[in-house]
């Protein structure tokens, strides 16, 4: 389950000291290593001035403020290193102004059940924190299709007040964050080795316990390019799609590339879908098998 970490250290560290510690001492692919570093994140949270100092320094160069930030409006990037990101997340209570609520819901991620395609260690820094309801699922039993039934197991409803630490596990923990009672801030160590960019992040419908949709990630842009290719591609495009269909880390990219490749090279459809039917992902395999059955029935397979 998502872990609550009891840490009472009174040490205080700077942002740069923390960044250097993670870069040199933490294996971001090993959750035991990450958990053992909890003292250091708590020490950063014990520094009550570093965040405003960092914020003020960033505002001095306001024209370039957070230009590299591709996250939601509630995220402030603090630093990064090999395969990790340090960030602060801002949690605002629901506004009393009805005319602003739609904009607030658009900018902030509340009341949306979701998992993450990365693991992260978090600590409350300011305020009472958001309330969150947490579930877990077994990713090995999920194909990843929209509308797919998922066995979501309720774990707890909890909060993230200042000083509390938690670890959320990639593609396993699902949570819904509710508006906090008062303005709050949390600090995150986001674990981001390159392969996490290729994993899917899901949004869930808790009432039906199904995958509702995919969250946007870096693979989403590759999907669009693969779809465009089927309309304007040439022989060189087909070669490049073939490489994506056989070697990309994202199952959705492999599947979309395969679809476009089969459209660009209809005479090779049998071999294209036969290879896809042996893909490691059940999402790709099931689609490929259905496509082969359809082509056999309609007599369009080559």
Residues 113 and 170 occupy one common structural domain: yes
Residues 48 and 124 occupy one common structural domain: yes
Residues 156 and 231 occupy one common structural domain: no
Structural domain ending residue among the three candidates 197, 214, 231: 214
Residue 302 is predicted with a pLDDT of 47
Residue 248 is predicted with a pLDDT of 86
> Is pLDDT above 80 for 161?
yes
Structural domain ending residue among the three candidates 151, 186, 214: 214
Total of domains in the chain: 2
- pTM assigned to the model: 0.81
pLDDT by residue (tens digit) across 37-92?
999 999 999 999 999 988 888 777 656 655 555 555 678 889 999 999 999 998 98
Structural domain ending residue among the three candidates 214, 242, 257: 214
Residues 33 and 109 occupy one common structural domain: yes
Residues 150 and 284 occupy one common structural domain: no
Share of the chain above pLDDT 70, in %: 89
Question: What is the spatial order of strands in the sheet that 131-136 belongs to?
Answer: 153-159, 131-136, 173-178
Share of the chain above pLDDT 90, in %: 66
For residues 269 and 258, give the distance between their C-alpha atoms in angstroms, rounded to a whole number: 10
Residues 146 and 187 occupy one common structural domain: yes
Show the domain range for 264. Answer: 218-298
**SS3 assignment for 85-131:** EEEEEEECCCCCCHHHHHHHHHHCCCCCCECCCCEEEEEEEECCCCE
For residues 208 and 194, give the distance between their C-alpha atoms in angstroms, rounded to a whole number: 33
> Is pLDDT above 70 for 116?
yes
**Average pLDDT for 100-119:** 80
């Amino acid at each position: 389950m998502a872990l609550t970490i009891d840490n009472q250290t009174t040490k205080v560290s700077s942002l740069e000291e923390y960044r250097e510690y993670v870069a040199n001492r933490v294996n971001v692919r090993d959750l035991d290593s990450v958990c053992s570093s909890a003292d250091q994140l708590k020490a950063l949270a014990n520094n009550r001035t570093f965040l405003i100092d960092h914020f003020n320094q960033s505002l001095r160069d306001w024209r370039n403020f957070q230009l590299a930030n591709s996250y939601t409006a509630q995220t402030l990037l603090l630093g990064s290193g090999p395969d990790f990101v340090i960030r602060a997340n801002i949690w605002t209570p629901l506004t009393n102004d009805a005319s602003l609520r739609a904009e607030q819901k658009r900018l902030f991620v509340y009341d949306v059940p979701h998992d993450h395609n990365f693991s992260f260690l978090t600590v409350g820094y300011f305020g009472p924190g958001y309330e969150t309801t947490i579930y877990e699922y077994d990713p090995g039993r999920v194909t990843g299709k929209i509308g797919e039934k998922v066995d979501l197991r309720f774990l707890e409803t909890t909060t993230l007040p200042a000083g509390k630490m938690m670890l959320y596990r990639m593609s396993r923990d699902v949570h819904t964050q509710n508006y906090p009672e008062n303005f709050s801030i949390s600090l995150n160590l986001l674990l981001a080795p390159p392969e996490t960019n290729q994993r899917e992040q899901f949004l869930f419908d808790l009432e039906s316990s199904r995958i509702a949709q995919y969250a946007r990630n870096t693979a989403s842009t590759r999907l669009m390019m693969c779809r465009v290719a089927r309309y304007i591609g040439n022989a060189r495009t087909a070669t490049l799609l073939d490489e994506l269909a056989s070697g990309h880390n994202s199952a959705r990219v492999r599947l979309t590339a395969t679809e476009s490749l089969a459209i660009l090279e209809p005479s090779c459809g049998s071999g294209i879908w036969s290879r896809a039917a042996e893909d490691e992902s059940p999402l790709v395999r099931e689609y490929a098998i259905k496509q082969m059955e359809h082509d056999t029935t309609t007599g369009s397979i080559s």
